[in-house]
């Protein structure tokens, strides 16, 4: 388990620390630079200065699989692969000219701890680079604890609602950060009575709580509906970008993505679609929210026809029990409907509501319904009693994990051989 996931006072420094730790296995050909802008004079450390400085590396990011981290103390960390020293030196030189009136920019990089930039060849210097990042992480962690102590409400667990300024800070962070360590994969499984779950596909999504704890632990990200929707659209783009660059064969196909309707019509989705190998689209499910669909039915019909023509399957996400009776899956031309489990579904005291719920299931088609948020055995047994076969949730995760461990033990068990 990474420090980032265990540390509730985590930050962008934790994302960087996790990324740096994982780079130990892929250090070949990679270089890193820490630009010590925190040592500039205060009048040279304003936000617009830092943004301009980060832009000096944008070309290298695109050409050499680069990552930029803008740290809370104003330092910039840039990591890239297979780039020449001359190209990196040119970028650093541009920054020296940008801050040419600051004494720090006049110092050469071999003049000790006051230097403008520190360079690392990660194939050789990864331990030293990791130590430097751990120190930056610890400093930021202590700063956040002091800040939390001053803000009694936040320190005791209360969070402030997300505001436009915090949203801008969050979006700027996720544009450059490596988000693979807050990317989650949860299986959707087929289950038959008395049979172990069989994964059909996996939902890929960004964990909002982990993202919040990593970058803005003092904010409630979904407090404002419209700001949160904008945030999710930005996250959609980052997930699509991650999948385009993905070399993990386990998520090369057979997965679902929960996307905003606007994302399906955006250039980022077209770029993602063009990158997919032949035959992969038919194994990918696009999950859409009902509020998003009915807010602009014309846009939905256009996006649906485009996605279906390309071969994707579509799922209506987050349907409650009472709403099930009002969903016409065939008229919407959707492949699947995701029903959220709630204990009230098993309440049989209201016969009219139960009848409407069962009629809704029959009309949609029980084989087309995913019972999600199954965090207990009760949820699974309820679904099986209705004839449902597709399930998702924490209890399913535990069953899959237990089955994997049991299969592994069986595979690795010592075999008895006959003796003569």
How far apart CA 136 and CA 75 sit, in angstroms, is 10
Tell me the torsion sign for CA atoms 395, 401, 402, 407: positive
The per-residue pLDDT for range 246-282, each reduced to its tens digit, is 766 767 789 999 999 999 989 999 999 999 987 899 9
pTM score of the predicted model? 0.63
- 227-252 per-residue burial string, b: 16 or more CB within 10 A, e: under 16: bbebbbbbbbbbbbebbeeeeeeebe
Question: What φ, ψ does residue 394 adopt, rounded to 5°?
Answer: -65, -35
Q: Return the percentage of the chain with pLDDT > 70, whole number.
A: 86
What value does the mean pLDDT take over residues 292-303?
88
The per-residue pLDDT for range 313-331, each reduced to its tens digit, is 999 998 988 888 888 999 9
Choosing among 3.30.1360.40, 2.40.160.20, 3.20.20.450, 3.40.190.10, the CATH entry for 169-410 is: 3.20.20.450
Question: What φ, ψ does residue 40 adopt, rounded to 5°?
Answer: -70, 165
**Where in the chain are the domains?**
3-158, 169-410
What value does the mean pLDDT take over residues 278-288?
92
How far apart CA 308 and CA 335 sit, in angstroms, is 10
The reply to whether CATH 3.30.70 applies to domain 3-158 is yes
Higher pLDDT, 149 or 115: 115
């Amino acid at each position: 388990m990474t420090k980032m996931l265990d540390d509730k006072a985590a930050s962008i420094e934790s994302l960087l620390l996790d990324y740096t730790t994982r780079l130990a296995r892929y250090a070949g050909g990679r270089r890193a630079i820490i630009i010590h802008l925190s040592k500039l004079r205060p009048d040279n450390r304003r936000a617009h200065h830092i943004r301009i400085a980060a832009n000096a590396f944008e070309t290298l990011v695109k050409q050499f699989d680069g990552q930029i981290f803008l740290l809370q103390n104003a330092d910039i960390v840039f990591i890239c692969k297979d780039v020449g020293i001359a190209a990196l030196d040119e970028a650093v030189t541009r920054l020296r000219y940008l801050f040419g009136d600051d004494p720090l920019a006049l110092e050469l990089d071999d003049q000790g701890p006051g230097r403008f930039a520190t360079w690392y060849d990660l194939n050789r210097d990864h331990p030293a680079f990791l130590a430097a990042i751990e120190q930056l992480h610890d400093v930021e962690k202590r700063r956040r604890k002091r800040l939390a102590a001053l803000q009694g409400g936040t320190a005791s667990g209360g969070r402030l609602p997300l505001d436009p300024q915090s949203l801008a800070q969050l979006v700027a962070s996720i544009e450059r950060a490596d988000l693979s360590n807050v990317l989650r994969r949860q299986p959707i499984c087929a289950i038959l009575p008395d049979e172990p779950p069989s994964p059909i596909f996996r939902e890929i999504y960004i964990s909002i709580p982990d993202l919040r704890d990593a970058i803005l632990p003092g904010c409630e990200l979904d407090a404002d509906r419209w700001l949160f929707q904008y945030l999710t659209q930005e996250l959609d783009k980052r997930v699509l970008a991650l999948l385009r660059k993905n070399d993990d064969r386990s998520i090369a196909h057979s997965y679902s993505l929960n996307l905003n309707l606007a994302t399906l019509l955006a250039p980022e989705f077209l770029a993602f679609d063009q990158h997919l190998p032949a035959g992969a689209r038919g194994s990918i499910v696009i999950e859409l929210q009902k509020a998003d669909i009915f807010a602009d039915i014309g846009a939905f019909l256009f996006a649906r026809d485009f996605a279906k023509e390309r071969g994707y399957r579509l799922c209506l996400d987050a349907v409650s029990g009472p709403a099930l009776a009002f969903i016409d899956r065939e008229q919407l031309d959707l492949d699947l409907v995701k029903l959220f489990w709630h204990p009230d579904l098993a309440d049989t005291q209201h016969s009219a509501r139960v009848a409407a719920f069962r009629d809704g299931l029959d009309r949609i088609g029980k084989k087309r319904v995913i019972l999600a948020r199954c965090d207990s055995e009760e949820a699974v047994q309820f679904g099986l009693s209705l004839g449902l076969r597709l399930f998702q949730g924490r209890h399913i995760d535990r069953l899959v994990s237990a089955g994997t461990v049991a299969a592994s033990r069986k595979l690795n068990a010592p075999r008895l051989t006959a003796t003569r």
